[in-house]
Structure formats: C-alpha cells, structure tokens
Chain A
Amino acid sequence: MTDKKSKFRRLVYAAFVLFWLTAPLYLNKYFIDVLNNVALYAVLGLSLNIILGYGGMFHMGHAAFYAIGAYTTAIINIQFGVPVLWIMPLAGLTAGVFALVVARPIIHLRGDYLLIVTIGLVEIVRIALINNVFGITGGANGIFGISSPSVFGWTINGIVHPGHYYYLLTVFLGITIILFYLLEHSRFGRALRYLCSDEIAAEGSGINTAWYKLIAFVIGAFWAGMTGTLYAAKITFISPESFSFWESVVMFMIVILGGSGSIPGVILGAVLIIGLPELFQGLQQYRLLIFGIALVVMMIFRPQGIIPPKPPKYPANALDESEVVL
C-alpha cells in the first residue's frame, strides 16, 4: 500500500516538473510572471525551511536577509558596474555575515521570544533602508536602474521577457532543491532535526546545538541573499516596501502551510500562497477572505502541513556485515 502511495506521489511530482518545464509554451506572459514569483518564493521558502522547518526556530524576519542581498546587488551593480550574476555570491555572503552577527545573541531564545525579536529585526532593516543609512540605499524611493542579468552574452530581461527569466529562476530553483535535499539527508540536516525534536537530548547526545542553530541561520540567510540578487535583477528596481514584515509572514506561511521540513511541501506552499490568489482574481475583494479561511481550516485539520516530511531511508541493507561493528 505504501508502495502504491509513493508511486502515486512520484507520478504527481513528475507531472509537476513536466508542467513547470513546458509552461512557457502555453502560458501567457502574465502567468509566467506569476510562476516567476512562485519560483522566487519557493527558494525563499526553502531557505527559511532550513531555519524554521528543520531547526524549528520561529524566525519571522527572513525578508531582512532577502533585502540585504537585493540591496547589496543593487548598490554594487550601480556603483561599480559589476554584472549582477557575479554579485550573487557576494549578496549571499553579505546576508550570511549579517545573519551571523545578529543571530549570535538571539539563537538561545525559544519559540515566541525568538519570533518577536526576528520581527524586530526585519523592521529595523526596513527602517534603516528608508532612512538611507550610509547614504547608499536611496531612502524610501529605493534604487532604480539595476542591470538585467546576462548569461553567455545573452541579456535576460525580466520585465520584457518573463519567459526568459523563468528559465534562469528554474535553474536556480532546481539547484536549490538538489543541494537542500542533500543537506537534509546528512549529518547536518539530522542535527537540526534532533535539536528541533528535543534540544536537551540533542545536546546530551553530543550535538553542539548553538553552533547548528547559528549555521542554519547563516545558510538560510545566504540563500535568501542570493535570491535577493535574482529579485533585484528581475524588476531592476527595489525599495524598502518590497521587504516589509508582510513578506516575512508570507515566507513563514509558505513553510508552515506546505509542510515544515518538507521540500515538496514548501514548494507546494509557494504555489498555493503565491500562485493561487492570482487564479481567483475574479473574486475581487473576497479572495483574501477565502484565502484566510482556507489557512485557518488547514491549520485546524492538518497542522503538520499539506505534505509533511517523509522519514528518510537509510541503506541499511547495502551494508556489508563486516561494516556493522561496534
């Protein structure tokens, strides 16, 4: 029975991948742009998933890291003319270092306390951007005229040709999924799930819980920062309002609704939360109401998310008897 189930599951995933790869053939520009946003938020959700999903840390300030990546990209690109895709690792690094500095004193906080502090964090970043810190963020107006990315001499304009940008984002999403899958199924991923399950038992089993929490923040922030590059280069204009508290809430919802700690769950969460409202545009003002009700119902009847994580399999049978040693 479980075999049948997993077969069905694989079939659905394959159908989704097929749909995703062929979408530009039959969807118009508008819907491709919706899918672009789904892809951006899927990556953001996956990066938050490392902190919130595996690590169980209630972090509601993820937009701060996203903002830092996007602003790093915009500033370096405009001031020094460096091509945007080259800035991507630097944007990740800036966000990662920022996470290291701000997360260090707060990671020992639990649940609701961490939540409140991280909300403060995203607000501080937004207000600092509005107030034009160091005179380089352009204040409330933001920064205009960021270059579009170019790959092998091809310029990919996210506004004129969302279909081209779509493939760039798809490649990034694909790489993210593969790398994070490998991360989840490793000593590192396990350590985060241990400390999420029972922090005292994890520490008592020899796991440096403080270090893993910190590194989870750094990796999550690094990825959000890189996603910030792709966002800034896509719309070529960024302002503080793109990185409000609400953005953090959306990312948080994507992870919780889709399935904390589950890669397919988070992707589904991004599809539902970013994509679905676009389908119901005809409902006008009721669409957010319906959306809210759907969220509440979900949380009551399926609190673990739509696709909860599957317990990982270990190749116990592949081991030679001589390898099973004390």
Chain B
Amino acid sequence: MSLLSLENITKTFGGLVAVDAVSFDVPEGSIFGLIGPNGAGKTTVFNLITGNYKVDTGQIRFNGEVITGKLTHKIVEKGIARTFQTIRLFSNMSVLENVLAGYHCRIRSGPVAAMLRLPKQRAEERRALGKSLAELNFVGLGHESENLASNLSYGNQRLLEIARALASNPRLIILDEPAGGMNEQETAALVDLIFKIQDRGITVLLIEHDMSLVMKACQHLVVLEYGKKIAEGTPEAIKQDPLVIEAYLGSDDESF
C-alpha cells in the first residue's frame, strides 16, 4: 500500500509553473528517490508535501488521509518529518536541544505544568531526554550532545538534522540532499544510515544529486524536469531511459 500519494500536484509562482501535474505513490517501507536537474522542482515538491507551500491544485494523501492545506506542524505530528537542503539547525543551541525539538510534538506539558513541575511534566522531560540521546547515538553523534550545533562539521550537521527529524517518530522521513557537502566516507556511512532508518520501518523519500548514492540506496525513482514527471521506475530502468539520459545529462554516454 502506498503511504504517501501525490495526485496531480501543481504549483505556480507568478507565471512560472514550478510543479506541473506531478503524481506518484511512495510505497510504505521503501526508499524512494526524487531526482532531476537543478531547478526541476524537487525541493518545491517537498515543500508542498510538508505544507511549507500551499498546493494550487491536486491532492496529497498520507496514510489515506488528505493532508493538502494542513499546517506544517500538523503534518509533522501525523508522521512526516523532513530535513532541509540548506541546513536549518537551531545553531545557537546545543546538539541535544536540537534533537529535543523533534520530540516536542510527542509530549504535551504546557507552561503551567512546567512552572509547577508536575510529575507528568518531569516524566515527559525524562522520556524526551532518553529518546533524544538514543537518536543521537543512532546517527553517531552521541558524544557531541553538549556541543553547540554550529560547532559541528558540515556532514555532522546533516546527521543532526536527520536525528532531529527521527526524534518526531515519523512514518515517512523526507531527506533533501542529505549528502550535500559530505565527503566520500561520510556519504558511504550515510547510505548505511538510510538503510538502518528503513530497517526501523520508516519510509524514506529523498532528493539527492549524488547519483551513486541514489542508485545504491533507492528502490524506486521519479525523475522531474521543468516541474514535470518525465520518468518513473527502478534505478536500472531509469538508467536506461533515453528521455532521462537526454534530459538529465544533456548528452549520451556520461555514466550515472
């Protein structure tokens, strides 16, 4: 069954059609890739799914439920977490606090409970702390928890974003160019991490420019160009698709 399905999604900015009647289904439990040349509208699709942009026409369903028009934090609560292409961490806060932000929507205590330090509030804080530390260990940043987020290396900042997204207990995680700025070893480790995320039963939707990563990790790909879907299929099929080769690479024999 598909966990996420986009039905004829269109988004225009002024006169520019950024996303043009795009449809695809992300099956539950898969690692699903969205690729295409720069400016093809990939990040726009992500922003539409997460409610950062409003969809002009079309519908997005998550787990059978229509989520078009919902606010971003509501969508996160329903189980879609994301990372950002341009890293958006709370840079002046600690690594641990960054991850705590993800778990925020899974606990409830408000200001009055906090001022009175009610037992429920304390139990929740403890649970949040445990969860966040576990997520940091999961992405391999356990030793950095007290460091400031801005002090992390570029690659580790990307991992921290993933940890923050995972902390919200998502069913679907959307990774926007997770390997951007990573070196080869870091990218290899990232592929392992993506498989580990899948092993937790979390569906992964990712945009990536690093083709070796995409081909290694993804079971299914959708290719966008100028806001339109031009191809869809397994990595092997996409590699051979003449339309993709022409559109994506511009020439014939450059390998993926």
User: Do B148 and A311 touch (CB < 8 A)?
Assistant: yes
User: Do B114 and A197 touch (CB < 8 A)?
Assistant: no
Q: Most chain-A Cβ atoms within 10 A of its Cβ — which of B50, B128, B129, B137? A: B129
Among A35-43, A181-189, A263-271, the one that faces the other chain is A181-189
A205 CB, min distance to chain B CBs, angstroms:
4
Name which residue of chain A comes closest to B100, CB basis. A190
* Set A191, A200, A311: member contacting B88, Cβ < 8 A: A200
Q: Using C-beta atoms within 8 Å of the partner chain, give the interface range for chain A.
A: 35 or more
Decide yes or no whether A153 CB sits under 8 A from chain B: no
B54 CB, min distance to chain A CBs, angstroms:
14
With A and B bound together, what is the CA distance between A197 and B164 in angstroms?
A: 15
Decide yes or no whether A224 CB sits under 8 A from chain B: no
Decide yes or no whether A105 CB sits under 8 A from chain B: no
Q: Please give, as numbers and ranges, the residues of chain B lying within 8 Å of A202 by CB-CB distance.
A: 90, 101
User: Do A205 and B130 touch (CB < 8 A)?
Assistant: no
B212 CB, min distance to chain A CBs, angstroms:
28
Q: Most chain-B Cβ atoms within 10 A of its Cβ — which of A186, A204, A209, A215? A: A204
Interface string of B2-13 (1 = CB under 8 A from A): 000000000000
Q: Most chain-A Cβ atoms within 10 A of its Cβ — which of B81, B88, B117? A: B88
Decide yes or no whether B105 CB sits under 8 A from chain A: yes
B52 CB, min distance to chain A CBs, angstroms:
7
With A and B bound together, what is the CA distance between A189 and B77 in angstroms?
A: 20
Interface string of B91-103 (1 = CB under 8 A from A): 1111011001110
Q: Please give, as numbers and ranges, the residues of chain B lying within 8 Å of A183 by CB-CB distance.
A: 111, 114-115
Decide yes or no whether A319 CB sits under 8 A from chain B: yes
Name which residue of chain A comes closest to B91, CB basis. A197
Q: Please give, as numbers and ranges, the residues of chain A lying within 8 Å of B107 by CB-CB distance.
A: 187
Contacts across chains A and B counted by CB atoms under 8 Å: 132
**Binding site secondary structure of chain A:** helix
B112 CB, min distance to chain A CBs, angstroms:
9
Name which residue of chain B comes closest to A321, CB basis. B130
Decide yes or no whether B232 CB sits under 8 A from chain A: no
With A and B bound together, what is the CA distance between A45 and B208 in angstroms?
A: 47
* Set A207, A319, A323, A326: member contacting B73, Cβ < 8 A: A207
User: Do A205 and B129 touch (CB < 8 A)?
Assistant: no
B100 CB, min distance to chain A CBs, angstroms:
6
Q: Please give, as numbers and ranges, the residues of chain B lying within 8 Å of A215 by CB-CB distance.
A: 110-111
Decide yes or no whether B225 CB sits under 8 A from chain A: no
User: Do A206 and B100 touch (CB < 8 A)?
Assistant: no
Decide yes or no whether B239 CB sits under 8 A from chain A: no
With A and B bound together, what is the CA distance between A312 and B138 in angstroms?
A: 23
**Chain A, 200-241, CB within 8 A of any chain B CB:** 200-209, 215, 219
Decide yes or no whether B203 CB sits under 8 A from chain A: no
User: Do B88 and A201 touch (CB < 8 A)?
Assistant: yes
Q: Please give, as numbers and ranges, the residues of chain B lying within 8 Å of A190 by CB-CB distance.
A: 97, 100-101, 104
Decide yes or no whether A289 CB sits under 8 A from chain B: no
Decide yes or no whether B44 CB sits under 8 A from chain A: no
Decide yes or no whether A294 CB sits under 8 A from chain B: no
Decide yes or no whether B145 CB sits under 8 A from chain A: yes
* Set B77, B89, B138, B145: member contacting A201, Cβ < 8 A: B89
* Set B73, B115, B164: member contacting A203, Cβ < 8 A: B73
Decide yes or no whether A324 CB sits under 8 A from chain B: yes
With A and B bound together, what is the CA distance between A183 and B112 in angstroms?
A: 8
Among B34-42, B119-127, B214-222, the one that faces the other chain is B119-127
Decide yes or no whether B84 CB sits under 8 A from chain A: yes
Decide: A206 near B130, CB < 8 A? Known: A186-B109, A197-B90: no
With A and B bound together, what is the CA distance between A236 and B67 in angstroms?
A: 56
Decide: A203 near B88, CB < 8 A? Known: A182-B114, A326-B134: no
* Set B88, B93, B127, B168: member contacting A206, Cβ < 8 A: B168
Of the A-B pairs whose beta carbons lie under 8 Å apart in the complex, a sample of 13, sorted by A's number, is A186-B109, A189-B114, A190-B104, A193-B90, A193-B93, A197-B91, A197-B92, A202-B90, A204-B50, A215-B110, A311-B93, A315-B129, A324-B137
Binding site for A on B (CB under 8 A): 50, 52, 71-73, 76-77, 81-82, 84, 88-94, 96-97, 100-102, 104-105, 107, 109-111, 113-117, 121, 124-131, 133-135, 137-138, 145-146, 148, 164-166, 168, 200
The 7 A-B pairs of least Cβ separation, nearest first, read A186-B114, A206-B105, A206-B76, A201-B88, A323-B130, A197-B90, A205-B101
Contacts A187-B109, A323-B129 known; 12 new A-B pairs at CB < 8 A: A182-B117, A186-B111, A187-B107, A197-B92, A201-B89, A205-B102, A205-B104, A205-B105, A206-B81, A206-B101, A325-B134, A326-B166
